[in-house]
Structure 1
Amino acid sequence: MGRHSLPDEYGTAAVGPRTRARGRTVAVATAVVLVVAAGTALAARSGLLSFGGACDGQTIRLDVVASPDVAPALRDAADHARRDHLTSDGQCLDTRVQAADSYKIADTLRRGGKGTSRYEAWVPDSSLWLKRAGLGGNATPVTAMGNIASSPIGISMVPSAAKSMGWPAKTYTWGQLTGAAMEGDKLRLGTADPARSATGLLALTQLGASAKKVGPGGDTQAAAMAKALSQRTSDSDAQLTDTLARDSSGTEQGNPRRNQALIVSEQSSFRYNESAPDRDGLDLFYPKDGSPQLDYPFALLDEGAETTDQRRAALRFMTLLGEDAGVRILQKHGFRTDDEEPSDALIAGAGGRSPQPYATSDSEPPTDKELQETLGMWTITVQSARITVVVDASGSMANIVPGRGQSRMEVTKASMLQALATFTPEDQIGLWEFATHLDGSRDYKKLVPTERLGDRKGNGTQRDRLSEAFSGLQPVPGGATGLYDTTLAAYEQSTSSYTDGKFNALVVVTDGANEDPGSISRSHLISRLQDLSDPRHPVPIIAIAVGPEADKDEVEQIAAATGGSGHQVNDPAQIHAVILKAIMEAGAKS
């Protein structure tokens, strides 16, 4: 699960769409302010960065790293700049463009690595990578200057599959399109790994939102869809199109290893169709509930080695991409340069056709929280989980949550049920509760054994048993928090029943510090946890402290002994999101 590592937050750092004239002005104005703030008073005295003038044979080297899909367009723009002797402060631009996956550059920048020191600018395919790059404590500073292009995300299909789905006359939501992939072999749908692909992540988030609008059970449906997609996932966008069935062979349509449809950007579909024979070109569905956008921000990298001339040269190259010549180059490569009036030739080249809603963009980009929850869901979907949940049932769980009018236990139960809905039938989940002397001399009681959610037990499934058990949790009057003995017992069982090929973890939810005077000490607990912990068979503890009386330092120390993580929430309703985030973080370490 090490490859599924993404941050707990995302955001759009760049300014508004580059395609609007006002957006371009804002981007350049922002650049001027930043350059001046960096001490370049010359820019303020000499007008708009003084980009004109003959170079007289003098050149300035500019190195740009870009997402593989946009790198060819940037290379063409760099060639144009050389041919036309484009200058910055009297020096001709010598721009070199290197292609690299956006997630790799973001991770390098987040760690503060020196691997990017040779680049002055970065053009990832989505602004979400800029947010990821800034999460590390030693992260290399990244400054977003504007967006150079955009490309909506849809579902491309080989002609026979598109025809069977009623293309182009019939329109679908994300949920309806991906739902077809769950009906046996009706539609074999592939995607790029959402942990490595902005296209995959944005589409999966939109898919989840679409499923939730259907009604009750939307979370479960979204998880099931993600599970189906995870069986046909490629490591990157570049590898995804290689999985398509080849119509011309006459046999590939029946090959179960080949995809009939792909979640791709419009530009990716355009690029594929450019080189494909007419009969093998893809047809593109634009979901009617909105197409999320790749927005291609142009960002400056600052590792302290760049000169003012280099930064100003990078800004000059960015402005070229907004001028007529740059716009033509981007459009030639299948990128949108005007979201409000997309090129008819571009739409046709990508496989779109009216009445498909290709001009309808996603008006509300996903929030940081939505992206975080999507990644958590994906992590536990790609690799089935084996998790035992241990919930505090001490008397203090009856305390009312401020502003909610419900007890901590009632809100905790609702949040845990919400988390349960994100797991699939293949996942194994169990439940314990704990309070002092809850079961004779023991501080804990095993309510539901850790078993597969899809297994039937009597008249219902393991999921039904867990739902009933969660709903039945009640605070024990007078019960205190028997945290230490319970945690050790649960961890001993979790490690002894470790299951290969699954994400194993122990989730402990408590609203207080240990209150059992007869229990083992904290130091003894931590020592025993360290002894039981095995890096070859990791079982991280995800410890969640609920409310102001809980001891955050305590749960952090306990969790750290197993390679897990401790968290504190003031509102138990946050438990669901914290569990998903913690699973994602723990999975990234394994």
Structure 2
Amino acid sequence: MLCVALPVALGVQHVANPTLLGLGGCSGSQTVSVAAAEESVEVLREVALSLEEGGAEADGRCVDYRVYAADPSEVSRSLDARAAGAPDLWVPDSATWLERIDGFEGQPTVVSRSLARSPVVVAGRGLVRPESWREVLSRDDVRFVDPVRSSAPAAALLALKAEPGSTGADVDSVMVPLAQRLGDDRDAPRDVTELALDPGGAAVLSEQQLLDLRAQGLGRDLDVRVPGTGTMVLDYPLVALTEGSVGVEAAEQLADRLGSPDGAELLEVAGFRSADLEPLPRDRGAGQLDLLRAPGAEAVATTLRRWSVLTVPSRILGVFDVSGSMDEVAGGRTRVSLASEASAASMGMFADQSQVGMWAFSVGLGGPDRDYRELVPIRRLDARVGGESQRQALGGALAELPGLTYGGTGLYDTTLAAVRAVRAGYDDEAVNSVVLLTDGRNEDPGSLALPQLLHTLRAERDPARPVAVIAIGVGPDADAEALSRIVAATGGRSYVARNPAAMGKVFETALLSR
């Protein structure tokens, strides 16, 4: 018998397992706990009940299924932490959860790779079919639950990665602003019900979740679409987590019953698709769809780790070389103009809560003993100062860079001052970094020597308050070796655009590295 009561509205009465009444051949009983994604619980309970009424047994004992709703992220975290009380059987909404339990000491047995299937879709009012997941996830009004704890949005991120022609830089150019916007959004939806109640925007969820909401009277005015490039599918595997044959046998009976015509009907009524992913009858869902290639386990782990990092806001000081050599022409444009344009183009990657400031540097630019000048202090991009936003102020400062070029490259003193300035205003809730762009080598005879700079950077480095230097060398004269040693001393990365005309792509890649 089930230990969790069914709602009265289902009209299901519980009849004791006949074997427990002495009508069958099993001796004793065995409770088998089944932790399942919430949307699958009702179907699993009904199937389990029918099995009990039919005298289900495993290893000679009567089976007493206990089906309960469990967030897959909580089960995965519990198993990975080796916490006590693991369920006997587990039905997460996606097989990707099985890749997140490295710390589990048992030997999980996949009894069924897929009990049910449901494609990931986009829903919205008056929504036209998007061309791609890139288009969907680039929308300012796209809404979804945290991908680290919810499979449908995680699948959308993986779909973005799997789309034809998609590169790592393409993925990051979408994920960075999206993660930072949603990571700082205190009103972000906590569950799919909130998504359906949202008066606008585009919601990412599974087809079944949307149909379940409609059955509850929610979201009936939402259009459901799948991007033209295709989509990913939630697959609901059935896994036995405990040792011994009882759990496996009980799981096999669940899988067999769900694979029968009666089980297939239950799944269809609940909004799930069959294994062949044929459209649901009566135009209830997204119709015909194409599938994108599912990524491997490492791609899943990497994408979700990247998302977790990106949800932490950025705090950046951009430091630009304006020495005389930045006036050299490459491809019909000066280096400083190319740097200004690449930086301006990259600003769109950052959400309004990102904090960005700007310096320029050349020997003596800030006075007789100072090689740097602050152009814009570090502030949130949506901060308002003097009638304009910080984003606008930075755009204006970038446009002024070509008019500042003069003199030699004051690299070492500027680097140390920039790292110290960022650390002085350190934000514990952000990734704090210096983005340094230069086309030369240190030319200030009165500055620190490179060994002194490196020693000081290492001595002042604080693991609790890290400030990484992201260095971009431009042109053939950039001191790549010095930049490499500087970033190593701060835990950063260096990039070199030997052809200044390629600076835009290199600059974007460097910023995305954070």
TM-score (norm 2): 0.63
**Could you tell me which amino acid in structure 2 is paired with residue 150 of structure 1?**
R
Q: How does 1:183-582 map to 2 (within 5 A)?
A: 190-203=143-156, 219=173, 223=177, 227=181, 230=185, 233-237=188-192, 239-241=194-196, 243-244=197-198, 258=199, 262-276=203-217, 281-290=220-229, 292-298=231-237, 300=239, 306-311=243-248, 313-345=250-282, 347-348=283-284, 352=285, 358-365=287-294, 368=299, 371=303, 375=307, 379=311, 385-389=314-318, 420-431=347-358, 449-451=377-379, 453=381, 461-462=392-393, 464=395, 482=412, 488-498=416-426, 503=430, 505-507=432-434, 517=449, 520=452, 525-530=457-462, 540-542=466-468, 558-559=490-491, 580=512
Structure 2 residue runs of 5 or longer lacking an equivalent are 1-23, 324-335, 474-479, 498-502
**Could you tell me which amino acid in structure 2 is paired with residue 497 of structure 1?**
G
Is the partner of 2:205 in helix, strand or coil? strand
Which stretch shifts more, 441-450 or 142-151?
441-450
Q: CA deviation at 1:527?
A: 5.0
Report if the CA contact (8 A) 2:133-2:227 is conserved: no
State the match for 1:49 in structure 2.
none
**Could you tell me which amino acid in structure 2 is paired with residue 102 of structure 1?**
P
Is the partner of 1:276 in helix, strand or coil? coil
Superposed CA offset, 1:150-185 (max 9, x none): 21233445xxxx4xx3x8xx6454689969986xxx
Q: CA deviation at 1:292?
A: 2.9
Report if the CA contact (8 A) 2:240-2:251 is conserved: no
Q: Distance in 1 between matches of 2:496 and 2:258?
A: 48
* 2:66 is the alignment partner of 1:96: yes
Q: How does 1:93-132 map to 2 (within 5 A)?
A: 93-109=63-79, 112-115=80-83, 117-131=85-99
Q: CA deviation at 1:392?
A: 9.9
Q: Distance in 2 between matches of 1:57 and 1:570?
A: 73
Q: CA deviation at 1:114?
A: 2.4
Is the partner of 2:38 in helix, strand or coil? coil
Superposed CA offset, 1:419-461 (max 9, x none): 6442135533235588999987778776765355567989x93
In structure 2, the CA distance between the partners of 1:415 and 1:541, relative to structure 1 (3 Å rule), is farther
* 2:54 is the alignment partner of 1:84: yes
Q: CA deviation at 1:335?
A: 1.1
In structure 2, the CA distance between the partners of 1:288 and 1:220, relative to structure 1 (3 Å rule), is closer
Which stretch shifts more, 364-373 or 93-102?
364-373
Q: Distance in 2 between matches of 1:90 and 1:473?
A: 86
Q: CA deviation at 1:92?
A: 4.0
Structure 1 residue runs of 5 or longer lacking an equivalent are 1-53, 183-187, 245-257, 395-408, 560-565, 583-590
In structure 2, the CA distance between the partners of 1:495 and 1:313, relative to structure 1 (3 Å rule), is same
Is the partner of 2:66 in helix, strand or coil? strand
Report if the CA contact (8 A) 1:434-1:486 is conserved: yes
Q: Structure 1 vs Structure 2: percent identity of aligned residues?
A: 22
In structure 2, the CA distance between the partners of 1:575 and 1:339, relative to structure 1 (3 Å rule), is farther
Is the partner of 1:70 in helix, strand or coil? helix
In structure 2, the CA distance between the partners of 1:510 and 1:74, relative to structure 1 (3 Å rule), is farther
Report if the CA contact (8 A) 2:117-2:236 is conserved: no
Q: CA deviation at 1:70?
A: 2.0
Q: Which structure would you say has the larger RCO, counting Cα contacts within 8 Å and 6 or more residues apart?
A: 1
Is the partner of 1:338 in helix, strand or coil? coil
Q: CA deviation at 1:468?
A: 6.4
Report if the CA contact (8 A) 2:58-2:245 is conserved: no
Q: Distance in 1 between matches of 2:279 and 2:65?
A: 28
Is the partner of 1:493 in helix, strand or coil? helix
Is the partner of 2:311 in helix, strand or coil? helix
Q: Distance in 1 between matches of 2:194 and 2:461?
A: 42
In structure 2, the CA distance between the partners of 1:310 and 1:423, relative to structure 1 (3 Å rule), is same
Q: CA deviation at 1:149?
A: 1.8
Q: Distance in 2 between matches of 1:435 and 1:393?
A: 6
**Could you tell me which amino acid in structure 1 is paired with residue 26 of structure 2?**
D
In structure 2, the CA distance between the partners of 1:155 and 1:321, relative to structure 1 (3 Å rule), is same
**Could you tell me which amino acid in structure 2 is paired with residue 386 of structure 1?**
R
Report if the CA contact (8 A) 2:38-2:69 is conserved: yes
Report if the CA contact (8 A) 1:120-1:301 is conserved: yes
**Could you tell me which amino acid in structure 2 is paired with residue 272 of structure 1?**
L
Residues matched between the structures, number: 447
Q: CA deviation at 1:574?
A: 8.5
**Could you tell me which amino acid in structure 2 is paired with residue 541 of structure 1?**
V
State the match for 1:10 in structure 2.
none
Superposed CA offset, 1:267-322 (max 9, x none): 11221222329xx73443213425633423426476xx633543454455444433
Report if the CA contact (8 A) 1:58-1:92 is conserved: yes
**Could you tell me which amino acid in structure 2 is paired with residue 528 of structure 1?**
E
Report if the CA contact (8 A) 1:155-1:262 is conserved: yes
State the match for 1:3 in structure 2.
none
Q: Distance in 2 between matches of 1:570 and 1:62?
A: 59
Report if the CA contact (8 A) 1:388-1:450 is conserved: yes
Q: Distance in 1 between matches of 2:258 and 2:482?
A: 54
**Could you tell me which amino acid in structure 1 is paired with residue 467 of structure 2?**
I
RMSD of aligned alpha carbons: 5.8
Superposed CA offset, 1:505-548 (max 9, x none): 1146799xx99646657675455343xx8x7xxx5434568999
